[in-house]
A and B are shown apart, each in its own frame.
Chain A
Amino acid sequence: MTDESEALSSWLTGRLAKAAEPSRNPEEIQLTDRLRDDLVIDSLAFLELMVDLEDVFGARMDEGDLLLGGYETVDDLISRVRVHLGEN
């Protein structure tokens, strides 16, 4: 994993931990956690996260990737964003 990829993963888990209901510590976030059912991320919380992601990493997510419904787990999200930022 590159440094940037690692930075992305830890940024995303940090944000998910904060956005989760109830909020929790980043180390409690599992890759297999379901965004909606386990972390209780709703569409508005997800959009906020996407807005900040675009700002922090200079990414520009495609329309289809902005919707919470497109992701099941934390792992799905991290993988997709990573592809988007052109990393492996």
Chain B
Amino acid sequence: MGMGGRSAAPQHVIECLHRSIDERPMHNAIVFGRQRLTFAELGDAVQQCAEFLHSVIASPGLVGLRLGRTPEYVVAYLAVAALGGVVVPFDDDAPTEEVLSEARALGLVAILTNRKFAHLHGGAVIQVEGSDSRGGPIPWAVRGLAPLRPPALAQPVNPDAPLVLLRTSGSTWRPKRVMLTHRSALASSRAHRLSVGHGPDEVSLVALSMSYGYCHTTQLVAQIDAGGTLALLPGTFLPRTFGEAVWAAGATTTTLVPSMMTMLARAPDRKLADLASLRTIVFGGAPIRADILDNLRVRLPRAELIQTYGQTEAGPRITTLRADAAQMRPGSVGRAIPGMRIEIRSTENGESLPPCQTGEVVVCGDGVMSGYFDDAAATAEVLRDGWLHTGDLGWLDDAGFLWLSGRMRNLIITAGLNVVAEEIEAHLRQVPGVADAAVFGEPDELRGESIHAVIVRLGGAAPTERDVRTFLGPRMQPHKLPRRISFVSELPKTSNGKVDRVGLARLRIGGNDDR
């Protein structure tokens, strides 16, 4: 803001919430089906939730949220932040065992969930009744908690305190949590809004998982800060349910991954008619096919399709490609968002490379994470001298547009979700009768890539494909399960004895013959 305008923008999410409550108390903060919550009402709900949490947990610490895409998630997120705690979001479809073991490892003081849940060792499990998208108050409001003490929200605030720990696949399979401070999350969300031209009156429809870094920063934090409306898609994404939610909320923008765009592109015209209020559709997370973009460009002429690139570790936003620039540079992922710097560095000697030469994409900016939680070694691998090493390969043109050309990591992006090959391989090696295994990403029309696992059996043992699936099913998130499984007698290796992944993909294994 310029001189004489609003004072310097707050750097703490709760200060942003207060500003939005003060400036636009009657403006819708949350829309969930027929449920509406103004900023004033949201403030009250956050206050009540914070007081409730305060009465249950002795000191603010790491608080897990497994509340799906609901108003309760938003309220609880802000309440934890108001108490000076740190939010740890969990995916809705994460296996309970995985959630519990991570919760123990992180030392959560509590987990809030709307699912049936076993007890949490050393922490409190707080069951939250789900609110109903058909209307009615949200659960915090029906608890009837009277304000107990001066508002928890008025506590001193530190913008450099951690706000959230976001799950990432990172560069190895060990699960890690990206630590974003209030300041970094706000920096990334503000730069994002500037880069896509969003003002304060957007109605932003969330269709992705709330635990996803992309959605966290560009939608949740962005709308609280802007005083705009956050609309939540009730239930599952289908072109129909998405259209109904856009129409009901009068959504002006949404954030999608390419698989969702593909589903929309295949939908009949009458289903796209509900999307008329969308002025921007922001997408990223994986490469998208040009024909899908062309299809939607023609059939949704009022919506600008805006491509973005980022990674959770970057806050997550790195580049934006507006529609006008996309006409000139199809295939680019755009230019650095404000405050973000991009360099291309040699993968051999780390030196900065001139335009048009390919190397590792390395970025620096206020949005970048402070590190992985409690993992200095992993942090040191990717954060060096303030520069984040993305593990992506690419080049910049003379005008600063970035083009991605590959990955240094063994990453598979399936339906917009990152999966690290080594994680799947570690699970596969635990299947009884499996001697060795390797996975790779195969081109897939709907998913972008799908996971193909190649397994070597132990001598004489005979796990079938069915045995493998039965073993993996309860142990892994569904999107990490291999789509194809083949059996071979040995894996191709490189000269230094590592699995030759390129050779693996070239095998073009037909092989379910010996299932």
Contact = CB atoms under 8 A, between A and B. Distances in A.
A66 B238 contact: yes
Interface string A23-50: 0000000000000111010111101101
A16 to B, nearest CB: 15
Interface in A67-82: 67-68
Interface in B207-243: 234-241
B466 interface: yes
A87 interface: no
B238 A37 contact: no
Interface stretch (B112-120, B155-163, B478-486): B478-486
A63 interface: yes
Residue among A22, A42, A50 with the highest chain B CB neighbour number at 10 A? A42
Contacts of A7: none
Contact of A47 (B237, B466, B470, B481): B237
A44 B415 contact: yes
Residue among A22, A38, A47, A60 with the highest chain B CB neighbour number at 10 A? A47
A51 B481 CA distance: 23
A5 B478 CA distance: 31
Interface in B467-485: 469-470, 473, 478-479, 481, 483-484
A40 B237 contact: no
B238 A44 contact: no
Interface string B110-149: 0000000000000000000000000000000000000000
B446 A48 contact: yes
Nearest to A63: B235
Contact of A38 (B238, B240, B259, B466): B466
Contacts, number: 53
B497 interface: no
Given A42-B481, A51-B267, A63-B234, A37 B470 contact: yes
Contacts of B469: 36-37, 40
A43 B240 contact: no
Residue among B238, B266, B483 with the highest chain A CB neighbour number at 10 A? B238
A4 interface: no
B512 A47 contact: no
Interface in B491-515: 512
Given A37-B469, A40-B469, A47 B235 contact: no
A21 interface: yes
Given A21-B483, A51-B238, A66-B238, A37 B466 contact: yes
A51 B473 CA distance: 25
A63 B240 CA distance: 11
Contacts of A47: 236-238, 263
A68 B446 CA distance: 17
Given A42-B478, A43-B478, 13 more contacts: A21-B484, A22-B512, A36-B473, A43-B479, A44-B447, A51-B238, A51-B263, A51-B266, A51-B267, A60-B240, A63-B235, A66-B238, A68-B478
Interface of B: 234-241, 259, 263, 266-268, 415, 446-447, 466, 469-470, 473, 478-479, 481, 483-484, 512
25 contacts: A21-B483, A36-B473, A37-B466, A38-B466, A40-B469, A42-B483, A43-B478, A44-B446, A47-B238, A47-B263, A48-B446, A51-B239, A51-B263, A51-B267, A54-B238, A55-B268, A60-B240, A63-B234, A63-B236, A63-B241, A66-B235, A66-B238, A66-B241, A67-B236, A68-B478
